[in-house]
Each structure stands twice: as structure tokens, then as C-alpha cells.
Structure 1
């Protein structure tokens, strides 16, 4: 094969490869979600000396307007100077945001879910080292006709204490995009539902819109240092 012919063949292969890459479909939410944010997070129970557990959620996600599917990265960190004990991260959905799966985690049974929530998963973590973090891929759906919130509590392995809780914090947009392929949502923004009465948020729980975090958020913190609604309940059965 002559060098000119070889170069032509290689060039054609490159074009085909680039075209294949460009035409691969990408799921909603797979793009850069921006830096992680601890917005809506607070300490509940005191952690062991030298341990400082926090969580992060992406600043933005994208919801596919046809399927309602989205993806979220949930991160737990130990920002302290000492290694942590065994803990568990809970990922809980509220209102229009339903958590479908969390990679490597177990579904929380319906009877153990907090009042007002619709779904949740429990992620067991062994001894998170000082300065270390662990991220989980969360598959979810978002009903753009409703508001939607997510909550990330971090508890001891037995659920007796809650060191940190982020949320329930909303994802949403004040500018719905019903005719676009996807709708971008921002963390900490109340969603303006798509529809003719988008200026009025739907009531999806008894009095939930009366408090900054909603009644579900209040129920999460009501027990204070004694723990949260499921603080002494074991995690749900292992998902198949």
C-alpha cells in the first residue's frame, strides 16, 4: 500500500471514529454538574473528636423532558483530622424527585421512610479516612409539574446518631423549558412547575410549604440530639 493511500485510509478511519463519538447518546444529567455544594447542610449530633462529616450535591442537574430521568452525584466527606467510624449515607427523595437507585446501596423499606418522602437508599461506609470522600451515582426521576427535594443524612452505622444532614434541599428552575430536550435545575431553587398555573406551587403534603424546609424537614430535625425519624431503625433489606 502506498504512503498516500495509507494516509487516506487512516484519515477515513479517524473521521468515522470522530463521527461515532459525536453521535453517541448521553443520558440527562451526565454532563458536568458543576462544583459540589453543601447548601442546606447542618450538624445534628456531635461527631467523634477530630471527625467532621459533610455531604455535597451538584449545583445543577438536567432533567430529560421526555422521560423525566436525571442523574445526581451524592458525595460524603470527612473534613476532619481523624479517621471516622463506620457510618451510613442516606439518599432520600421528596415530592417530584424520586430516587430510583443508588449504586452499591440498599433500598430503604417503605415503612422506614420518613413522612413525606417517596423513596430512599442506605449506603454503608466503613471508616472514612481523614480528608477522604466517597461519591455515589444516583439515578432519579423528576416530575417537572411538582417541586422536588433531596435529603442526605449521615448516620452512625446503627442509625443511633445523625452527624450531618443536608436538606431536604430543593432542585428547581424559575424558567421551565417544556419544549426543550431537557430542563436544567439548580440546587437551592424552588421549582416553578410546568403548566398553566406555574406561579402556584402544588401542595404535595399537609402544610409542607409553610416552613423553609417543609414539614418533612422539620420532622427530620424534630428529635434533635436524640436522633431523627429512623435513627434507631436498621437499614432496609438488601436490594436484589
Structure 2
């Protein structure tokens, strides 16, 4: 084979590989997430008069089947008529969804994470004017062999009160895509396994008897919010940590 033809074939393979990388990167991004939704959200402690805080998550995300990486946008909004005062937003992962980073936010130490969660970040929102909002880019991984949930509490800056909490709300799919570069997941949907006879995708959803009920998890966090968000702390490795 001539060196010219060899170079042409090599160039084609490099181009093809680059295209695959571009496809995987795009499908795991937060670009095509559909409308935002406050599904699974509930007011907890009374907010100051004229303040109405809510959050929203995308209706859909895409998880790269090869790496499990995904991205989403978390938004907090003041839908009231006066400014919010100093607040913070927490972004917390549960089960198969692990939050790896939130732009502009600080990681919550392991010992301070909400009970049952695997990861979390705290975002110092500051004061939101009436009608204004602030969005955060979230990087995460999703284990498609498990259920995965996310939770967005909105608190006072010191965490003493929780005005609003979205979740823990699941992302999942009833239509797995084992042969595609990525699997689309919908907000508020429990995962389902691939149909029998097809290429096997890891079972996306534990049996009901093994799964943590969403209502129980949500109630636990809401109860913690009503009590001043006194998270159950895990044992620390050394005195003074946290």
C-alpha cells in the first residue's frame, strides 16, 4: 500500500474518531434539556413576606453510555415581589446520580452531607431581586445500573431555615438506548430495564422492595428542613474536620 493511501486512510480514521468523541461530548452535555420544571418541589419553612423561592431542573438529560457522564442546569428563582435576602442553594446527589461539580459552588464535606446522599455542593446565591433567577451548571455521573435522584434545597445563608426543596426527585427512562452513544433520562421517571431479547443494558432500577421510596427520602429531608436542616453527620476521620 502506498504511503499516500496509508496517510489518507489514517486521516479518515482520525476524522471518524474525532466525530465519535464529538458525538459523545454533545450527548453528555447540558445543551438539549428541554423546558425547566419544578416537579417534586415543595415549600418548607415560611419565607419572608413577599418572597417566593422556587427551583427548576431540566425535563431531560442525556447520559453517555461509555462514561456515565452527564450535565444539567439547576436554577433558583425568586418569584415574589421583594428581594430574597441572603440565600444559598444546595445541589445534592442520591443513589446512582453523583454530583461531581457545580460551577461557582463549594463541595459539601462528606461528614456534612444529608443522610443517604453521596455528594453535594453549596452555592452562595446572595440576594435575589424580585423576579430574578440564577442558574448553575452541574456536572454529574449516572450509574445506569441503579436509580438516581437529585435534590435542590434553598436555604438561608447559614442553613438555619429551608424555604423550598425540590426532590429528591428521580431521573430515569422507560426506553433504554443500549446501542446509542447516550441514554436519555426524564425528570420524575423511574428507570426501567431494556426489553427482553434486546442487547442488555444494565438494569436501570432496583426492585421495588430494595429501592428507597422517593416519598420517604423526600419526607426525611423536608423534616430536616423544618427542624433547621440539622443534617445527620457521619463519623469524621479526625477531630475538628468540617
Which TM-score tier does this pair reach, normalised by the shorter chain?
0.7 to 0.9
Verify: 1:175 aligned to 2:175, yes or no.
yes
Query: What's the offset of the Cα at 1:202?
Result: 2.0
Structure 1 residues 171 and 137, CA gap change in structure 2 (3 angstroms):
same
Are the equivalent residues in 1 in contact too, given 2:99–2:120 (CA < 8 A)? Answer: yes
1:47 corresponding residue in structure 2: 47
How many residue pairs were aligned? 210
Deviations 1:206-228, CA, capped at 9 Å, x for gaps: 9653x3x2543222022463233
Query: Structure 2 regions of 5+ residues with no counterpart?
Result: 1-14, 195-199, 233-240
Are the equivalent residues in 2 in contact too, given 1:168–1:216 (CA < 8 A)? Answer: yes
1:225 corresponding residue in structure 2: 226
Q: SS state of the match for residue 222, structure 1?
A: helix
Verify: 1:93 aligned to 2:93, yes or no.
yes
2:73 corresponding residue in structure 1: 73
1:9 corresponding residue in structure 2: none
Deviations 1:186-208, CA, capped at 9 Å, x for gaps: 00001125658848x3269x965
Verify: 1:132 aligned to 2:132, yes or no.
yes
Q: Within 5 Å, give how 1:90-239 maps onto structure 2.
A: 90-193=90-193, 198=203, 201-202=205-206, 208-209=211-212, 211=213, 213-223=214-224, 225-230=226-231
2:7 corresponding residue in structure 1: none
Structure-2 separation of matches of 1:202 and 1:118: 17
1:10 corresponding residue in structure 2: none
User: Which range is displaced more, 188-197 or 46-55?
Assistant: 188-197
TM-score by length of 2: 0.79
User: Which range is displaced more, 23-32 or 164-173?
Assistant: 23-32
Deviations 1:127-159, CA, capped at 9 Å, x for gaps: 111000000000000000000000000000000
- Root-mean-square deviation (CA, aligned residues, Å) is 2.7
Structure-2 separation of matches of 1:168 and 1:97: 11
Are the equivalent residues in 2 in contact too, given 1:95–1:146 (CA < 8 A)? Answer: yes
Structure-2 separation of matches of 1:203 and 1:93: 20
Structure-1 separation of matches of 2:97 and 2:193: 13
Query: Structure 1 regions of 5+ residues with no counterpart?
Result: 1-18
1:16 corresponding residue in structure 2: none
Are the equivalent residues in 2 in contact too, given 1:208–1:214 (CA < 8 A)? Answer: no
